[in-house]
Chain A
Amino acid sequence: MLGKLALAGIKNRRRDYLVLLAGLTMSAAIFYMFANLATNRAFLKANAMVNQASIIFGFGAVLLILITIVYIMYANSFLLSMRQHDYGLFMMLGATRKRIGELVFLETLILGAVATAIGIVLGLLISQFLVGLLLDMLGLHLAHLSAFYLPAIITTAVLYVGLFILASLFNMVRLTRTTVLKLLHTDEQANQPKIHPFRQMVAAVLGVAFLGIGYWALAAIKTLQMTAIPVALVTITIGTYLLFRATLLVIIQGLRRTKWAKRHLNGFLLGQLNFRVYNYTRMLTIVSLLFAMALGAITVGSGYHRQLPMMANSIGTYTVAIHNKNAQEQKLIDQLNVEHQATYTQKRQGKVVYYNAAELQQQPFELSKSAQLAKSLKHPKFYTESLAKFKKNGIQDFDFQSLAVRQDMGFYTPKILNAKQFAKQKGTTLTVTTVRVKDLVQDQKVLKQLNHMEVKRFALPEQVTVGNYQSYEMMSGIFGGLEFMGYFLGIAFLAMLASCLMFKILSGAPGDKQRYQMLYKIGVRQNLMRHGIAKEIGILFLIPGIMGVIDVLFGLQMFKPIMSSPMSPYLGIGSIFAIFIGLYAIYYAITLTLYWRIVLPKAPTN
């Protein structure tokens, strides 16, 4: 009977349960996808060429687990807040505590198990389709990436079900220890936090100090090595928490004394925030960290994505070099957006390659100013030399030598002959066409075909790259894993952050419903209430957002060692920040709409 009642209770709150289930499912799906990447040894081996990459994967996994724990905690408190009134009622009707305890335990566990199961299936599907799509969009190829990986499924299932068992036990203990009356009257008694000036000062100073240590640790990752990350994680968390605790309340209470607080619903807004913010300090801290990690990860990912071609472009003076171009290749070259193009005749004999001075005179071989490489990353400066000078210096240029690569990995030694001598010179005659495109990314597809044909026709040793395009392909192979993980973790963290914030805010909705009902009776306009709610929730979104951005600006220091010059983790972060903040704003809008629906009193009708 009681089971039936409980089910009826759930039916009545279908929408809330759907939100909860959807959130938990997404979380499990994300975890599965990450576990799939992080535990798949074959995949890691194939892609994590850079030493730091595997470290970062491990670090990411630990972070994800921690955040999952926090996430489930919040989801669970949301669940509890929805159910306690019903359970209080059952107890009042005479249900034993033991029976209620069992019900709570089962309900939490069933919900968790269902979410985990659906989540894993969803994770599988997403891995199958979306990860491929993401990789395609990024133009990456990651070897040994399969959607189905049993150890990852087991890991996810064990972690989630384990956490839900803990959550169920927690709920059971909590519900059976609370008095019936308290369960029935759950509308929180707003205990008003008081300000202790001295303690507040100390907390502020300590907070700033901890943050300072954390930011320093990230910047000094080269000297601190692996200790930097845990140190930063702990100190930044504590620092943020203390800082929020010390400052937010003071600001709100200061505002409450101003004239502004006495206009329209401002006073009510501040009053709400006043007792909210204190309860929310922990959540805001965690959300600000999540925000920072999501934004940081996406920034780093996109940093690689945008800067790899840039870096590749700055390596040499030509994008591709085609030997003995055929008609088909010429067709492809015609499709390119060419910035500079030159064709030279080569005669190869023994270990020497001969060039025609007349040709070089007519179309001098371009060189790049390598000393200023770092500064002029966006527009590598190309220049040419007089033939006499070129014979002395330019001839040893790496780009020039790469035009003739021997099978045993060495270069033919270039020699320049005048036209007459060149004509007499014996040897295999080839032409080589160098092409530099304006934008490597834009012409990526054609370049890929061209390069593919060239490599097929003139099998070169694997380690040798000729032209910027090949360098780019090689670098993508090395850094692609990092890039992908940046995006992936970024999206995952963002999704979790948003639902954390959403659950916490939504679990306060039942209490707010009464408050807004009161305001409605007093005669507050619907619009005014809407705006008030929008401001209140907006501030709760804004605080961690601001802190998160600050965290990222400092935290990006951490990536300086693995994004060495001319790349930089700070390059072009503006647009990424804008996109990310846009996504965050969408979450805000969704939360707000849900909140409006739950809280706003409905106008009476006939």
Chain B
Amino acid sequence: MTTNTVVNVHNLEKTYGKANERQYKALKGLDFTVEAGEFVGIMGASGSGKTTLLNMLSTLDVPTKGDVVVNGHDVTKMRGNQLADFRAQEVGFIFQDFNLLESLTAEENIGLPLALKGTPSRVMDQAIHEVATTLSIADLLQKYPAELSGGQKQRVAAARAIVHHPSILMGDEPTGALDSTSARELLDLLTTINQKQHMSVLLVTHDPFSASFCQRILFIKDGQIGSEIKRGEQDRSAFYQQILNELGTFNE
């Protein structure tokens, strides 16, 4: 483990249900790390534990056993406000259903993480416009989510996720609700963000096309890491084939 590790998961377990009731083990002892600047994908079929894992990493849920260290913070030891602050400062989130507040304009939505930190409004405006230019949504800032297309919404959500420079960007099926063009645009943007800003990205998906944008992919099956493949020097379409092959054998 180097000092450049952003996420370090050790022996992570999650069991649902009370001790005296019928229990369900969603995660059965996971171990993996994400290095700084890495673009990692997590794949698996429905019910394999992908979302549970992401919830543990983002502190939305509490593990039954094991450690999760994100950017030096032991997530499992945090309580109350610490958890909220951790989510606000260390993690950027993109959800399948956008999670934009429809009562706020795109600009206000993007500015929310900064407002929570108490950033001065001048700095805030600058940061919003910077990120909006990167994601080419500068002309949409005054619109409300209801006035935006799905692709535009997800770009606004992405802007909100990175405006405060979190140590890791997590995506939970971010392309799940998008058409193929928008999905591709978004994935290109995530790649750009990952390369230009050296932001670590963790993408949870079951879509091989989305996954082919990653550098490394972890396959989860029944709550355990089944296998792992790396893109290395291959181009994306070759990697895509490799993923398809892996999925073909993995699910057998």
Within 8 A of B (CB), among A494-542: 515, 518-528
Min CB–CB distance A418 → chain B (angstroms): 92
Residues of the B chain whose Cβ atoms lie less than 8 Å from the Cβ of A372 = none
Q: Is the CB of B80 within 8 A of A523?
A: no
Residues of the B chain whose Cβ atoms lie less than 8 Å from the Cβ of A275 = 103
Return the CB mask of A229-265 against B: 1 if under 8 Å, else 0.
0000000000000000000000000000001001111
B87-95, B188-196, B243-251: which lies at the interface: B87-95
Which 5 A-B residue pairs are closest in the complex by CB-CB distance?
A: A523-B88, A523-B87, A271-B103, A271-B104, A525-B84
Residues of the B chain whose Cβ atoms lie less than 8 Å from the Cβ of A267 = 104, 108, 111-112, 115
Contacts A264-B116, A518-B101 hold; do A259 and B121 have CB atoms under 8 A apart?
Answer: yes
Q: Is the CB of A192 within 8 A of B83?
A: no
**A191 CB-CB contact with B under 8 Å:** yes
Residues of the A chain whose Cβ atoms lie less than 8 Å from the Cβ of B84 = 520, 523-526
Q: How far is the CA of A267 from the CA of B81 in the complex (A)?
A: 21
Residues of the A chain whose Cβ atoms lie less than 8 Å from the Cβ of B81 = 525-527
> In the complex, which of the residues B83, B95, B113, B160 has the most CB atoms of chain A within 10 Å of its own CB atom?
B83
**B62 CB-CB contact with A under 8 Å:** yes
Min CB–CB distance A185 → chain B (angstroms): 11
> In the complex, which of the residues A266, A521, A522, A527 has the most CB atoms of chain B within 10 Å of its own CB atom?
A522
Q: How far is the CA of A263 from the CA of B64 in the complex (A)?
A: 36
Choose from A190, A263, A603 the contact partner of B115 (Cβ within 8 Å). Answer: A263
Q: Is the CB of B121 within 8 A of A521?
A: no
Min CB–CB distance B230 → chain A (angstroms): 31
Choose from B85, B103, B104, B108 the contact partner of A523 (Cβ within 8 Å). Answer: B85
Q: How far is the CA of A264 from the CA of B101 in the complex (A)?
A: 15
**A149 CB-CB contact with B under 8 Å:** no
Min CB–CB distance A554 → chain B (angstroms): 35
Choose from A189, A266, A528, A603 the contact partner of B83 (Cβ within 8 Å). Answer: A603
Return the CB mask of B93-114 against A: 1 if under 8 Å, else 0.
1010001111111001001110
Residues of the A chain whose Cβ atoms lie less than 8 Å from the Cβ of B144 = 190, 192
**B124 CB-CB contact with A under 8 Å:** yes
Residues of the A chain whose Cβ atoms lie less than 8 Å from the Cβ of B146 = 189-192
Residues of the B chain whose Cβ atoms lie less than 8 Å from the Cβ of A264 = 115-116, 118
Q: How far is the CA of A400 from the CA of B238 in the complex (A)?
A: 118
Q: Is the CB of B124 within 8 A of A262?
A: yes
**A268 CB-CB contact with B under 8 Å:** yes
Residues of the A chain whose Cβ atoms lie less than 8 Å from the Cβ of B62 = 604-606
Min CB–CB distance B166 → chain A (angstroms): 10
Contacts A262-B111, A526-B84 hold; do A190 and B103 have CB atoms under 8 A apart?
Answer: yes
Q: Is the CB of A522 within 8 A of B112?
A: yes
**B74 CB-CB contact with A under 8 Å:** no
Contacts A272-B103, A527-B81 hold; do A263 and B118 have CB atoms under 8 A apart?
Answer: yes
**A591 CB-CB contact with B under 8 Å:** no
Q: Is the CB of A268 within 8 A of B93?
A: no
Q: Is the CB of B88 within 8 A of A522?
A: yes
Q: Is the CB of A518 within 8 A of B99?
A: yes
Residues of the B chain whose Cβ atoms lie less than 8 Å from the Cβ of A606 = 62, 64
Q: A: which residues have CB within 8 A of B? A: 189-192, 259, 262-268, 271-272, 274-275, 515, 518-528, 603-606
Min CB–CB distance B71 → chain A (angstroms): 14
Q: How far is the CA of A520 from the CA of B100 in the complex (A)?
A: 12
Q: How far is the CA of A403 from the CA of B45 in the complex (A)?
A: 103
**B130 CB-CB contact with A under 8 Å:** no
Residues of the B chain whose Cβ atoms lie less than 8 Å from the Cβ of A263 = 115, 118, 121
Which single residue of chain A is at the shortest CB-CB distance from B100?
Answer: A518
Min CB–CB distance B83 → chain A (angstroms): 7
Min CB–CB distance B141 → chain A (angstroms): 13
Q: Is the CB of A526 within 8 A of B80?
A: yes
Residues of the B chain whose Cβ atoms lie less than 8 Å from the Cβ of A518 = 99-101
Choose from A259, A271, A515, A523 the contact partner of B116 (Cβ within 8 Å). Answer: A523
Q: How far is the CA of A271 from the CA of B11 in the complex (A)?
A: 43
**B60 CB-CB contact with A under 8 Å:** yes
Q: Is the CB of B87 within 8 A of A521?
A: yes
Residues of the B chain whose Cβ atoms lie less than 8 Å from the Cβ of A274 = 103
Q: Is the CB of A524 within 8 A of B103?
A: no
Residues of the A chain whose Cβ atoms lie less than 8 Å from the Cβ of B86 = 523
Q: Is the CB of A271 within 8 A of B93?
A: no
**B61 CB-CB contact with A under 8 Å:** yes
18 pairs of residues in contact across A and B, judged by CB atoms under 8 Å? A190-B102, A191-B146, A192-B146, A262-B121, A263-B115, A265-B115, A266-B115, A268-B103, A268-B112, A271-B104, A271-B105, A274-B103, A515-B103, A521-B93, A522-B113, A523-B85, A524-B116, A525-B81
Within 8 A of A (CB), among B44-74: 58, 60-62, 64
Residues of the A chain whose Cβ atoms lie less than 8 Å from the Cβ of B111 = 262, 267
Q: Is the CB of B88 within 8 A of A524?
A: yes
Which single residue of chain A is at the shortest CB-CB distance from B160?
Answer: A522
Which single residue of chain B is at the shortest CB-CB distance from A269?
Answer: B103
Min CB–CB distance B154 → chain A (angstroms): 14
Min CB–CB distance A198 → chain B (angstroms): 22
Which single residue of chain B is at the shortest CB-CB distance from A273?
Answer: B103
Min CB–CB distance B189 → chain A (angstroms): 20
With A190-B102, A271-B101 given, name 13 new contacts (CB 8 A): A192-B144, A264-B115, A265-B115, A266-B115, A268-B108, A271-B108, A515-B103, A519-B101, A520-B84, A525-B81, A603-B80, A604-B61, A606-B64
Within 8 A of A (CB), among B108-138: 108, 111-113, 115-116, 118, 121, 124
Q: How far is the CA of A541 from the CA of B31 in the complex (A)?
A: 52
Which single residue of chain B is at the shortest CB-CB distance from A275?
Answer: B103
Q: How far is the CA of A523 from the CA of B91 in the complex (A)?
A: 9
Contacts A267-B108, A525-B81, A605-B62 hold; do A515 and B101 have CB atoms under 8 A apart?
Answer: yes
Q: How far is the CA of A264 from the CA of B88 in the complex (A)?
A: 12
Residues of the B chain whose Cβ atoms lie less than 8 Å from the Cβ of A519 = 101
Min CB–CB distance B151 → chain A (angstroms): 19
Which single residue of chain A is at the shortest CB-CB distance from B143?
Answer: A192
Q: How far is the CA of A201 from the CA of B99 in the complex (A)?
A: 37
